Amino acid sequence: MSDTPLAATADFLHGQPHEVVERDGVRFTLLGTAHVSQASVDAVRDAIGSGRFDAVAVELDEARLQALSDTDSMAKLDLVKVIRTGKTAMFAANLALAAYQRRLAEQLGVEPGAELKRAVLEARAREMPVHLIDRDVGLTFKRASARLGFWDRAKLGGGLLAGLLADDEVGAEEIEKLKQGDMLEASFNEFASESPAVYETVIAERDRYMAARLREIREDTNNDGSREVLAVVGAGHLQGLARHLREETAPAGAIREELESIAPKSTIPWFTIILSTVVIGGFAWGFWQGGIDVGSDLLLQWILATGLLGALGCAIAGGHPLSILVAFVASPITPLHPALASGTLSALTEAWIRKPTYADFMALRADVQTVRGWWRNRVSRVLLNFFLTSLGTAIGVWTGGLKMLGTLFG
């Protein structure tokens, strides 16, 4: 493998940062772009229009491409299925990213990721092969979350929620990150730089992943005669991607599989077992030592602490009375059962009673820009129901547990 002089490509790349790496008979021109730059859009258009390249690769996955190219994509979601399959947090993360992009577009007048969208459109218009080389954003979020402790996961979730609710201008530091070229890093704001685990997953892993994807599609491009591949990636990935493409010797397929894997959770729900043991044991101890009065009092304290706070969270989310009732009934039980969650049950009830309409989905990205819009839109209100009911139940567990211990040992 060898590097190729850059002079031949400099004219139509408008001086944009780029690297050229030749490996196994295929020359990869890595074009580093800024996700909020019209100059990057022009460079992509002219590079593909030059006729020099046989195939185009872009820093996108299927979900992000659909979000960029199909404005109706959210309206096609089955929200009940999203909740039932445990993908509510993933949906919220994607929604946070979409809301962040919308704020940028309104502030800067340039659609974030416009150069990636242009690369796909220009290549398809010329009937060139298009390869999506980035890892699915949901996988990236899951791998980042899996490497964090409880409090860091809470901070990450809080950062995403703050990004959803924020309606102020994007700061100069974040815009500068986007000029350096990575949407996900900027979306995570300062958290990525403060957490080595998040930085590794959001930035460094994706450099290696995209290099492996380029090596995999090299085999495909050889089959159709391609020898020149243009890869459009954020400038922040340029050096790392070029290094891995030059130096990596491990099989590309094995690298991709490694970076797509999620560490399996323990099959033994230790937290639920311990919590159930403490709570049920506390009830038993209360009935045994204090009789029916003490035992009943402990049971009532638990039901009221968890049920009322879970129901309060649902009520704050603007839940339907039946959703609030489900939250109240489910909250004392679900902490003791690993397969149930009060937020899920309440949100499913809300989505069933107040089924989101096509108009709700279409207005979602605009509505989540304001606090009032979150409660007005039925889709976002279901998400609020899920998160606030779950939060209320969690607070109730700690409150009820402490009250129980106080009664038993007071």
Of residues 159, 232, 161, the one with CA closest to residue 198:
159
Q: What is the pLDDT of residues 109-119, one digit of tens each?
A: 667 778 889 99
pLDDT over 70 for what percent of the chain? 73
The sheet carrying 55-58 orders its strands as 2-3, 18-23, 26-33, 228-234, 55-58, 130-132
Burial status of residue 63 (CB atoms within 10 A of its CB: 0-12, 13-18, 19 or more): middle
Which residues on neighbouring strands pair with residue 19, listed in sequence order?
30
* Mean of pLDDT over the chain: 79
**What gap in Å lies between CA 215 and CA 406, rounded to an integer?**
62
- How large is the average pLDDT for residues 289-306? 83
Q: Inform me whether the pLDDT recorded for 9 exceeds 50.
A: no
Q: Inform me whether the pLDDT recorded for 5 exceeds 50.
A: no
Higher-pLDDT residue of 2, 376: 376
Residue ranges per structural domain of the chain: 2-260, 270-409
pLDDT score for 21: 92
Choose the weakest-confidence range: 43-52, 67-76, 162-171, 311-320.
Answer: 162-171
pLDDT score for 150: 61
Q: Inform me whether the pLDDT recorded for 193 exceeds 80.
A: no
Query: Under a CB-based contact definition with an 8 Å cutoff, are residues 369 and 100 in contact?
Result: no
Q: What is the pLDDT of residues 64-81, one digit of tens each?
A: 888 777 766 666 677 788
- How large is the average pLDDT for residues 40-64? 90
Higher-pLDDT residue of 273, 334: 334
Q: What is the pLDDT of residues 214-269, one digit of tens each?
A: 998 866 545 555 589 999 998 888 888 999 999 999 999 999 999 998 876 656 66
pLDDT score for 405: 75
Residue type for 84, please?
R
Q: Following DSSP, what letter does each residue of 317-376 receive, concatenated?
A: TT--HHHHHHHHHHTTTGGG-TT--HHHHHHHHHHHHTPPPHHHHHHHHHHTTSHHHHHH
- How large is the average pLDDT for residues 386-400? 89
CA 386 → CA 92, 99, 316, 375, 396, distances in Å? Answer: 11, 19, 11, 13, 15
Within a 10 A sphere around the Cβ of 15, how many other Cβ atoms?
9
Structural tokens at position 9: 């490509």
Q: Inform me whether the pLDDT recorded for 4 exceeds 60.
A: no
The pLDDT confidence band at residue 6, using thresholds 50, 70 and 90, is very low
**What gap in Å lies between CA 326 and CA 307, rounded to an integer?**
9
Higher-pLDDT residue of 280, 49: 49
CA 69 → CA 54, 72, 83, 207, 386, distances in Å? Answer: 23, 9, 25, 24, 29
- How large is the average pLDDT for residues 376-400? 90
Handedness of CA 386, 392, 396, 397 (dihedral sign): positive
Choose the weakest-confidence range: 89-98, 129-138, 305-314, 396-405.
Answer: 89-98
**Phi and psi at residue 26, in whole multiples of 5°?**
-120, 135
Q: Inform me whether the pLDDT recorded for 163 exceeds 70.
A: no
Residue type for 215, please?
R
The pLDDT confidence band at residue 2, using thresholds 50, 70 and 90, is very low
Tell me the Cα Rg of the chain: 25
pLDDT score for 175: 57
Choose the weakest-confidence range: 97-106, 118-127, 201-210, 394-403.
Answer: 97-106
- How large is the average pLDDT for residues 340-362? 88
